């Protein structure tokens, strides 16, 4: 699908963006791959790994998703947009709420308007389990972002006449990303003490490669308005600590402001619109044009009281499984 196409990724110098770039360059023959981000130094660093003389399809495009005019320029002629840019640190968003809103909410609106104005074919926005039943500002802004992207399909047109379609991928914590607890534990390992917020805490986990693979598979089959949710494993925080540093002691420091004990990917209130597939769920939009996927023979409605959360998840990683996983992705973890 992407061969010969122009692809743009916002937040392209982040953990997801770099893995996305690596996979796109290895698997596809895109006409252009545009790395859109606001940090010139990160773009400089990324260009050392993916230089334009070796990868002539790459364009490094400086800009901020808060700037709609810049997005309009960047999106000109683009076929597919992956929207990964966001302010993601929970504590930073709690202390700087207006900044989080400007990037995560107003930025989402700018992405939608620019994509429609420039006739982008498809936009896939990345979301998080923290957008489900949010208790922190970051989660609340990502919930707003999800709602905006789903509703963006109504602004773009209806049914087969739609020029631009929007969908969302919602998943859990990413192993190997700068925002996960794994780099923190690796940094603390030489001290002999790992800091734990709460022994009962559980989280969904996905690797960067799995996240990119899922986004690309959803990009191909999206019709607009879906929220795609992968079936991924959970893990208890103490088991994670044991997998990373079995010889270390732990120190309980308490839950931080805006933090949950457990995360939810599909809440009960969205169960009535949720379809189950072998390896993922789809939350259907309440749009008339969604008949295109309603008759999918592989789809199964979930029970009315269904909830997909990290504590009752049927698939939990063992310490050995996580140890192997960490060994496989060590090169992706920015310590």
- So which residues are the catalytic ones? 130
Contact 18, 35 (CB under 8 A): no
How many other C-beta atoms lie within 10 A of the C-beta of residue 70? 18
Helix axes 181-188, 237-244, angle to 10 degrees: 50
Phi, psi of 309 (to 5 degrees): -130, 170
Query: What b/e readout covers 285-298, taking b as 16+ CB neighbours within 10 angstroms?
Result: bebebbeebeeeee
d(CA 135, CA 264): 12
Distances (CA, A) of 182 to 19, 92, 196, 233, 243: 17, 19, 12, 16, 10
Q: Dump strand ranges (E) for 77-192.
A: 80-83, 122-128, 165-171, 173-175
Q: Which of 35, 10, 222 is nearest to 121 (CA)?
A: 222
Contact 37, 233 (CB under 8 A): no
d(CA 167, CA 149): 6
Determine whether 273 is exposed, middle or buried from the number of CB atoms within 10 Å of its CB (0-12, 13-18, 19+). middle
Which sign, positive or negative, has the C-alpha torsion 170, 62, 44, 102? negative
């Amino acid at each position: 699908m992407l061969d010969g196409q122009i692809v743009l990724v916002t937040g392209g110098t982040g953990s997801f963006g770099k893995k996305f770039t690596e996979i796109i360059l290895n698997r596809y023959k895109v006409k252009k791959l545009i790395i859109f981000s606001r940090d010139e130094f990160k773009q400089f660093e990324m260009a050392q790994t993916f230089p334009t003389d070796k990868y002539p399809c790459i364009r490094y495009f400086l800009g901020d998703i808060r700037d709609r005019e810049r997005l309009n320029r960047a999106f000109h002629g683009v076929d597919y947009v992956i929207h990964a840019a966001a302010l993601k640190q929970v504590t930073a968003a709690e202390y700087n709420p207006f900044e989080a809103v400007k990037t995560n909410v107003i930025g989402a609106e700018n992405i939608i308007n620019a994509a429609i104005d420039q006739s982008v074919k498809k936009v896939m926005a990345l979301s998080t389990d923290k957008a489900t039943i949010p208790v922190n500002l970051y989660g609340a802004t990502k919930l707003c972002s999800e709602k905006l992207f789903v509703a963006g399909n109504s602004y773009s047109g209806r049914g087969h006449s739609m020029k631009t379609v929007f969908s969302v991928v919602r998943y859990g914590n990413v192993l190997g990303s700068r925002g996960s607890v794994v780099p923190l534990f690796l940094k603390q390992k030489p001290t002999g003490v790992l800091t734990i917020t709460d022994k009962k805490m559980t989280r969904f986990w996905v690797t960067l490669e799995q996240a990119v693979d899922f986004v690309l598979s959803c990009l191909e089959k999206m019709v607009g308005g879906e929220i795609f949710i992968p079936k991924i494993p959970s893990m208890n925080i103490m088991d994670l600590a044991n997998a990373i540093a079995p010889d270390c002691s732990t120190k309980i420091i308490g839950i931080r402001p805006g933090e949950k004990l457990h995360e939810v990917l599909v809440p009960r209130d969205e169960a009535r619109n949720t379809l189950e597939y072998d390896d993922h769920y789809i939350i259907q939009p309440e749009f008339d044009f969604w008949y295109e996927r309603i008759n999918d023979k592989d789809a199964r409605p979930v029970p009315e009281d269904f909830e997909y959360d990290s504590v009752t998840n049927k698939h939990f990683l063992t310490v050995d499984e996580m140890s192997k996983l960490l060994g496989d992705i060590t090169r992706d973890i920015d310590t």
